[in-house]
Chains A and B, each alone.
Chain A
Amino acid sequence: MSEDSNPAATPTPCQDIQGDGRWMSLHNRFVSDSKGKEPDVLFVGDSLVQLLHEFEVWRKLFSPLHALNFGVGGDATQHVLWRLMNGELDHISPKVVVLWVGTNNHGHTPGQICGGIMAIINVVHQKLPRAHTLVLGLLPRGKSPNPLRERNASVNAVVQAEVVSLSHVSFLDMDPGFIHSDGSIAHQDMYDYLHLTPQAYQRVCQPLHERIKSLLDKHAP
């Protein structure tokens, strides 16, 4: 699928509809952060990335790995693509880029969303040829079974298949089993059936932390 015909893979900044320019403020801060800091790990994506930074688990597990957090709530693949192509990767050389995005791509098909994720992977590889990109699987959402759960699961399957042959990319399924036997997701895990509670973050971040550490260990000095 060419980038021209896939809106999920067409770099697009967020328009400031509300009037306080917050998206651009965040992007600009990330660009200037990238000038001053030397992260080994870069997290990039949507609110699931952004909110991770606000909980204790970040300080405990990821700050010690010298990680930066470039998450923006509401971002879809085309927004993250634009940000990475417009300065957020320009002055840093992280060894591992953790990418978690796709759940906000409303109106896009799983194929399009995968195309968006692959476009991001390609940009990261162009700008940071020695970095490893760890793509995180989309989580289920909604209290009960619904089309978005199916869509996210499809995205995961397609992305996993696409990256299996790439040595500089790997995929990590982030769902520790949020869906109960009756098909429901508990508000103790997702307080709004989308965003993770601090305890749910603890659960998903243990394996993520392990995987990042092993990727850092493997990275050529």
Chain B
Amino acid sequence: MSAEENPAAEPAPVIDVQGDGRWMSQHNRFVQECKDAEPDVLFVGDSMVQLMQQNEVWRELFSPLHALNFGIGGDTTCNVLWRLQNGELENIRPRVVVLWVGTNNHEHTADQVAGGILAIAQLLLSRLPKSKIIVLGLLPRGEFPNPLREKNAAVNNLLRASLPQLGPVPFIDLGGSFVHSDGTISSRDMFDFLHLTAGAYRTISTALHELLLQLLEEMPQERRASLV
């Protein structure tokens, strides 16, 4: 599906309807961070990424890896694509990029969302040919089974099938433990049945951190990065 056909692969900034320009302020801050920092790991995506940085687990596990967090709550694939094309990849060469986006693409079908994520992965691969791109699967959401769970699962299945065509792009589904046998998600894991609690972040971060360490070890280093 080409970008012309897929609205989820159309780069688009968030229009400021509320009146305080917060989205652009955050984007501008990230562009500035690219000028100042030399991250080894870049996290990019929506609130699932953004909120990770507000939890202890970021300071403990990801800051020591020299990670930058370019998450913005509410972002769709279109918004992330726009940000990456408009400064958020300038001057940095992260060895690993973690991409987590797609759950907010309410206007798009599962096919379109997967296409949008692929478009971002392709952009990252072309801009950072020496870097490893990791794509995280969309988590289930809602207290009970619902159409968005099915849609997110469909996106994940499409990604599992199509990401390998781009090269060695690991796809990691961290959502395995959240749906209980009765089909419910607990507010102890997702306080609003979408966003993760501190405990849930800890659970998924342990696995993700292990993978990052592994990948960083495997990769040829341009310079020594100190890993705590």
Question: Please, how many angstroms separate the alpha-carbon atoms of A44 and B217 in the complex?
Answer: 47
Q: Does B194 contact A (CB under 8 A)?
A: yes
The majority secondary structure among interface residues of chain B is: loop
Q: Which of A122-130, A138-146, A164-172, A203-211 contacts B (4 or more CB under 8 A)?
A: A138-146
* A19-B146, A20-B148, A22-B141 known; A54-B18 Cβ under 8 A: no
| CB-contacts of A153-194 with B (<8 A) | 187, 191-194
Q: Does B21 contact A (CB under 8 A)?
A: yes
Minimum Cβ distance to chain A for residue B51 (Å): 9
**Proximity bits, B53-92, A CB within 8 Å = 1, else 0:** 1100000000000000000110000000000000000000
Q: Are the C-beta atoms of A19 and B25 separated by less than 8 Å?
A: no
Q: B interface, how many residues as a size bin?
A: 20 to 34
Q: Which of B37-45, B117-125, B170-178, B185-193 contacts A (4 or more CB under 8 A)?
A: B185-193
Q: Does B218 contact A (CB under 8 A)?
A: no
Query: In the complex, how many residues of chain A place their beta carbon closer than 8 angstroms to a beta carbon of chain B?
Result: 31
Q: List the A side residues contacting B50 at CB < 8 Å.
A: 191-192
Minimum Cβ distance to chain A for residue B27 (Å): 11
Q: Are the C-beta atoms of A26 and B193 separated by less than 8 Å?
A: yes
Q: Are the C-beta atoms of B193 and A50 separated by less than 8 Å?
A: no
* A54-B191, A106-B18 known; A20-B25 Cβ under 8 A: no
Q: Are the C-beta atoms of A147 and B148 separated by less than 8 Å?
A: no
Q: List the A side residues contacting B6 at CB < 8 Å.
A: none
Q: Are the C-beta atoms of A148 and B192 separated by less than 8 Å?
A: no
Q: Does B5 contact A (CB under 8 A)?
A: no
| CB-contacts of B8-42 with A (<8 A) | 17-22, 25-26, 29
Question: Please, how many angstroms separate the alpha-carbon atoms of A191 and B148 in the complex?
Answer: 28
Q: Which of B21, B26, B148 interacts with A146 by CB under 8 Å?
A: B21
**Which residue of the partner chain B has the closest CB to A185?**
B25
Q: Are the C-beta atoms of A25 and B193 separated by less than 8 Å?
A: yes
Q: Does B197 contact A (CB under 8 A)?
A: yes
Q: Does B106 contact A (CB under 8 A)?
A: yes
Q: Are the C-beta atoms of A192 and B144 separated by less than 8 Å?
A: no
Q: Are the C-beta atoms of B20 and A22 separated by less than 8 Å?
A: no
Q: Are the C-beta atoms of B143 and A50 separated by less than 8 Å?
A: no
Q: Does B167 contact A (CB under 8 A)?
A: no
* A29-B187, A191-B53, A192-B26 known; A20-B18 Cβ under 8 A: no
Q: List the A side residues contacting B54 at CB < 8 Å.
A: 55, 191, 197-198
Q: List the B side residues contacting A144 at CB < 8 Å.
A: 21, 25
| CB-contacts of A37-80 with B (<8 A) | 50, 53-55, 72-73
Minimum Cβ distance to chain A for residue B204 (Å): 15
* A20-B193, A73-B192 known; A142-B22 Cβ under 8 A: yes
Q: Does B169 contact A (CB under 8 A)?
A: no
Question: Please, how many angstroms separate the alpha-carbon atoms of A148 and B20 in the complex?
Answer: 6
Q: List the A side residues contacting B53 at CB < 8 Å.
A: 191
Q: List 25 A-B contacts (CB under 8 A).
A: A19-B106, A19-B146, A20-B146, A20-B147, A21-B142, A22-B143, A22-B194, A26-B192, A29-B187, A55-B54, A73-B192, A106-B17, A141-B20, A142-B19, A142-B21, A143-B22, A143-B25, A144-B25, A191-B54, A192-B22, A192-B26, A192-B72, A193-B25, A194-B20, A197-B54
- Residues of B bordering A, CB below 8 Å: 17-22, 25-26, 29, 50, 53-54, 72-73, 106, 141-144, 146-149, 187, 191-194, 197-198
The 7 closest A-B pairs by CB, nearest first: A142-B20, A20-B142, A143-B25, A25-B143, A146-B20, A20-B146, A20-B148
Given contacts A20-B148, A26-B192, A141-B20, 15 further A-B contacts (CB under 8 A): A18-B148, A19-B106, A19-B147, A22-B142, A26-B193, A141-B22, A142-B19, A142-B21, A144-B25, A146-B20, A149-B20, A187-B29, A192-B73, A193-B20, A197-B54
